[in-house]
Amino acid sequence: MINDAMKKVNAELLNVGTCNLHVIHNGFKADTTETNWHVENFCMNIWSWFQKSPARQEDFENITDELNDAIEKTILYFSSTRWVLLGKKERPLVHLLYNALCDLYRTVLLSFLSPEHVRSTYGGALLDIDFKLAEKQLTTKKLQIDLHVLDPASRTKQDSADTMIRVGRAIPKLLSNAEIDRIRHEFMIFGLPKYPTLSKIVKNILIISHGNSDVERGFSINEHIITENRTLLSLSSINGLRSTWDAIKFYGAGSPHRVPIKIDMIRAVQKSKSVYNQEQLSLKSLADREKEQSEKHEHTNEEMKKLIDRENQLLSKQKGLHDKQKKAQLLVGESRQRLDNALKKADIINAQAANALIGAGDEQGKLISDELFKITDELSKIQSKRKNVLFHVQNKKQKMTTTANDQF
């Protein structure tokens, strides 16, 4: 449904396949359940051991700094659906996903197959080692395979430029044919900001999520923020709490006491009350404008309804007068025919009666014509007024839409 809506504005979703990390999570969960090793309990015990003691957390961080900077320093709460560390990262990782999954699968195979059997096999060829295993493993998407070219270590490969071209063609509605032709030249000397085509590809690729963990993490944060006694929080309050949460995580590594207190933050706190009052005044002004617009809209609707009702009355009356005019014209025509017959027969009485009918018919026709002229003139004024009111309403809507877009 989202893709259909995007196609209407000449855009399209990029299909990178399903979330492979969830498949791995489920696989690990099934394996540990089958072995009865109770790995989940062990992981929970580790988390509890460090979580309850800040001193132990500090010791752990110091040890990891000494051993390896690549070791994850934050011990997260264990979840049975989060087995792969890659899924917990928040930085762009989609270009590392293919190699990471290949390394993981190769490691699993080496756990129960001899190295001679696995040899140096890598990538999709790993699935061919054993057919029974292959049919139960992850399917490999071509785009996910090619995304490894964004890893700086892959740029030295001979086919890296061709791989980059395939990535550029795989992203719908992003590059023109002329831009695709420039990819090879730019990729060979990539690294400077004067290569807009490659920059466009890299920026669009690195915003792709490597799994659903970021979204699910946001749901978990919201669940912690919106508790049972805080269900009436406004949208702005929720956004403010989320911003505070993210700031503590970014500046204090998740600990409020580690956030550096600077003069800008102190000034912001000092001005918070005035900013809040200003925001309330703005909201009140906006509500007053909306109320005024609503009242004007109701007044316009009432005016339009009255004009339409009056127009329908005049149209009905006009139709009745046209019918009367036709009858008067028919009466005059019949009277003239009667007068001609009476004159031929020298019938003075019938001639006088026919002449009287002709005069009455002409007089009635004149009165009807005058009335029709007045009704037609009034109808013209009403229709012109309706047109002006409608134009005014449409013009106002267009201005409001333009203003909203400018603010956005």
d(CA 275, CA 145): 50
Q: How many helices (H) and strands (E) does the chain have?
A: 16, 0
d(CA 123, CA 325): 92
Instruction: Give the orientation angle of helix 272-344 with respect to helix 263-270, to 10 degrees.
Output: 60
pLDDT above 60 for 406? no
- Helix (H) / strand (E) containing 66: helix 54-67
Q: Which two tokens stand for residue 84?
A: 């792969």
Residue with tokens 């004024």: 381
Out of 102-111, 216-225, 281-290, 326-335, which region has the weakest mean confidence (pLDDT)? 102-111
**pLDDT band at residue 115, thresholds of 50, 70 and 90?**
low
Over residues 137-160, the pLDDT tens digits come to 434 455 666 777 777 777 677 777
Bridge partners, 190 (sequence order)? 192
Find all residues with CB under 8 Å of 374, minimum gap 6, and list them: none
Out of 23-37, 82-96, 223-237, which region has the weakest mean confidence (pLDDT)? 82-96
- The predicted pLDDT at position 31 comes to 73
Cβ(97)–Cβ(210) below 8 Å: yes
Instruction: Say how many Å lie between the first and final Cα of the chain, rounded.
Output: 25
Q: What ranges do the domains of the chain cover?
A: 1-93, 310-407
pLDDT above 80 for 221? yes
Over residues 276-299, the pLDDT tens digits come to 899 889 889 988 988 888 888 888
Maximal CA-CA distance, the chain: 137
pTM, rounded to two decimals: 0.36
d(CA 386, CA 392): 10
The CA–CA distances, whole Å, from 352 to 323, 335, 339, 348, 349 equal: 27, 10, 8, 6, 5
Per cent of the chain over pLDDT 90 is: 0
Give 313-318's long-range contacts (Cβ < 8 A, gap of 24+). 314/375, 314/378, 314/379, 314/382, 315/379, 317/375, 318/372, 318/375, 318/376, 318/379
Cβ(382)–Cβ(314) below 8 Å: yes
Between 195 and 58, whose confidence is greater? 58
